[in-house]
């Protein structure tokens, strides 16, 4: 591979592509694409990535053309991840690859769908979309005749293990923290998730600007937006208003995260990615004030939006359809097809069905349910 001159610009604690721990199955390096660029491309060209366009973020797919899907959310997370990584001198390609892969395992119908699958699988290992994302890239994607899965680098797989207390390196050693790039992608997911759900909530009418003004974070963003618009915000239409305020809110989140994280990195004294991995706590973090404001925002979103009858009722009905399709496939496994059933002996029928259902888009699952009726 041609040496990448950009590596010289990275911070000493960034994960350099030339120092990657490699892949489970060794491969010849590409002449001008780094391992992390190749991982990004493998994810984007995968079938599971395309399916994200048909999967619910909050509103069921098909509810409206302007509401976010898992795909638009994923692209937004990747954008925020690159911004933060560049500001901190980290590897943007790695942060982006992790961000693009982080939701590949999400089932249809959003978090309600995940809860349904977890309940159906409770006596068989449960279901978690983070672990399912790992299954997708390690096993379920079928892009190469030489092996199953995408054979991604250790560093990208590490970034998908966001809830693992300990991570095991290829040499068998364990450590408590992933790379800073993985930590960035994890928090970028949170920034994109809650800020953009605010926009969808306001657009739907389920959230109100008046109630949001009771939140410190929204009030600060509103004041900043009014200042930056030089007084024109008050005469803007509702769509322009909410987009501009959310722009200021996201800027506030990112700037706080960059400043606080930079300080925590300097204070920690880490000088290499190895030291980052063995540091006992995560170094990418918000200030205490913003962390508190974000917690209040999350509570508001859950109370006023995610649990709103219009959202909850539609998702509950959709999940009943998921349960019926799941049960039908258990009774009639031949409907899975020979290729899918070939995994049955290794992982059991219920896990095969869970994999199959989790890979469905909202519309495909509904169409399968219609056949049952």
Residue 245: CATH number of its domain: 1.10.3210.10
Q: Residue 358: what pLDDT?
A: 97
Those residues with Cβ within 8 angstroms of residue 262's Cβ, 6 or more apart along the chain or in another chain: 88
pLDDT over 90 for what percent of the chain?
Answer: 72
Distance CA 123, CA 212 (A): 41
Is residue 112 included in any domain, yes or no? yes
Residue of 301, 300, 297 lying closest to 58 (CA atoms): 301
12 in any annotated domain: no
Using DSSP bridges, classify how beta strands 174-175 and 167-168 pair: parallel, antiparallel or unpaired: antiparallel
| Residue 59: predicted pLDDT | 57
Interatomic CA distance for residues 144 and 141, integer angstroms: 9
In a domain, 334, yes or no: yes
Which residues are CB-contacts of 138 (< 8 A; sequence separation ≥ 6)? 148, 149, 150, 152, 157
Name, in order, each residue with C-beta under 8 angstroms of 331's C-beta and a sequence gap of 6 or more: none
CA-CA distances (angstroms) from residue 275 to 152, 176, 269, 340?
23, 11, 9, 42
In-domain check, residue 116: yes
Question: For 155-177, how does the pLDDT look when each residue is reduced to its tens digit (9 = 90+)?
Answer: 999 999 987 888 988 888 899 99
CA 218, 224, 230, 234: dihedral to nearest 10 degrees? 10
Structure tokens at 111: 């978090």
Given pLDDT bands bounded at 50, 70 and 90, which one contains residue 1? low
Asked, for residue 214, whether it belongs to a domain, the answer is yes
pLDDT at 66: 53
pLDDT value at position 223? 92
Bridge partners of 236, per DSSP, are none
Does 26 map to a domain? no
Instruction: Assess if residue 347 is contained within a domain.
Output: yes
Is residue 137 pLDDT above 80, yes or no? yes
Q: What is the pLDDT of residues 42-86, one digit of tens each?
A: 999 999 999 999 987 765 544 544 578 899 999 999 999 999 999
**Exposure letters 185-197 (e unless 16+ CB within 10 A, then b):** bbbbbbbbbbbbb
Q: How many residues does the chain have?
A: 373
pLDDT at 124 over 50: yes
Is a pLDDT exceeding 80 seen at residue 299?
Answer: yes
For the chain, give the mean pLDDT: 92
Q: Global pTM?
A: 0.94
> Does residue 283 sit within a domain?
yes
Mean pLDDT, residues 101-108 taken together? 96
Three-state helix/strand/coil letters over the chain: CCCCHHHHHCCCCCCCHHHCCCECCCCCCCCCCCHHHHHHHHHHCCHHHHHHHHCECCCCCCCCCCCCEHHHHHHHHHHHHHHHHHHCCCCHHHHHHHHHHCCCCCCCCHHHHHHHHHHHCCCCCCCCHHHHHHHHHHHHCCCECCECCCCCEHHHHHHHCCCCCCEECCCCCEECCCCHHHHHHHHHHHHHHHHHHHHHHHHHCCCCHHHHCCCHHHHHHHHHHHHHCCCCHHHCCHHHHHHHHHHHHHHHHHHHHHHHHHHHHHHHCCCCHHHHHHCCCCCCCCCHHHHHHHHHHHHHHHHHHHCCHHHHHHHHHHHHHHHHHHHHHHHCHHHHCHHHHCCHHHHCHHHHHHHHHHCCCHHHHHHHHHHHC
With 90 as the cut, is the pLDDT of residue 146 above it? Answer: no
In the chain, how many domains are there? 1
pLDDT score, position 278:
96
Q: Over 50: is that where the pLDDT of 40 sits?
A: yes
More confident residue, 249 or 58: 249
Q: Which residues pair with residue 167 across a beta bridge?
A: 175
Domain extent, residue 173, equals 32-372
């Amino acid at each position: 591979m041609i040496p990448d001159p950009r590596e010289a610009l990275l911070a000493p604690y960034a994960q350099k592509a030339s120092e990657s721990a490699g892949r489970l199955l060794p491969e010849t390096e590409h002449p001008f694409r780094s391992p992390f660029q190749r991982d990004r491309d493998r994810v984007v060209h995968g079938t599971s990535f395309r399916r994200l366009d048909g999967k619910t973020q909050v509103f069921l797919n098909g509810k409206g053309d302007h509401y976010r899907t898992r795909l638009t959310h994923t692209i937004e997370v990747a954008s925020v991840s690159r911004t933060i990584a560049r500001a901190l001198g980290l590897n943007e390609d790695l942060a982006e690859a992790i961000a693009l892969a982080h939701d590949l395992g999400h089932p249809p119908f959003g978090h309600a769908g995940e809860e349904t699958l977890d309940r159906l699988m409770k006596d068989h290992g449960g279901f978690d979309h983070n672990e399912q994302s790992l299954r997708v890239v390690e096993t379920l994607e079928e892009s190469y005749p030489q092996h199953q899965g995408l054979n991604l680098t250790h560093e990208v797989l590490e970034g998908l293990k966001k809830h693992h207390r300990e991570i095991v390196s290829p040499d068998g050693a364990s450590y408590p923290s992933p790379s800073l790039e993985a930590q960035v992608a994890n928090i970028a997911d949170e920034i994109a998730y809650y800020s953009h759900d605010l926009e969808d909530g306001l657009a739907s009418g389920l959230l109100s600007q008046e109630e949001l003004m009771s939140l410190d974070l929204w009030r600060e963003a509103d004041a900043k937006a009014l200042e930056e618009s030089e007084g024109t915000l008050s005469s803007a239409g509702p769509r322009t208003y909410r987009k501009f305020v959310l722009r200021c809110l996201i800027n506030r989140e990112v700037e706080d995260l960059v400043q606080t994280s930079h300080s925590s990195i300097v204070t920690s004294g880490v000088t290499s990615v190895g030291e980052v991995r063995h540091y006992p706590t995560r170094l990418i973090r918000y200030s205490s004030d913003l962390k508190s404001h974000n917690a209040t925002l999350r509570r508001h979103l859950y109370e006023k939006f995610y649990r709103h009858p219009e959202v909850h009722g539609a998702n509950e009905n959709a999940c009943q359809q998921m349960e019926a399709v799941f049960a039908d496939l258990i009774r009639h496994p031949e409907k899975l097809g020979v290729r899918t059933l070939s995994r049955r002996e290794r992982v059991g029928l219920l896990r095969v069905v869970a994999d199959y259902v989790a890979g469905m888009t909202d519309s495909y699952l509904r169409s399968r349910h219609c056949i049952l009726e």
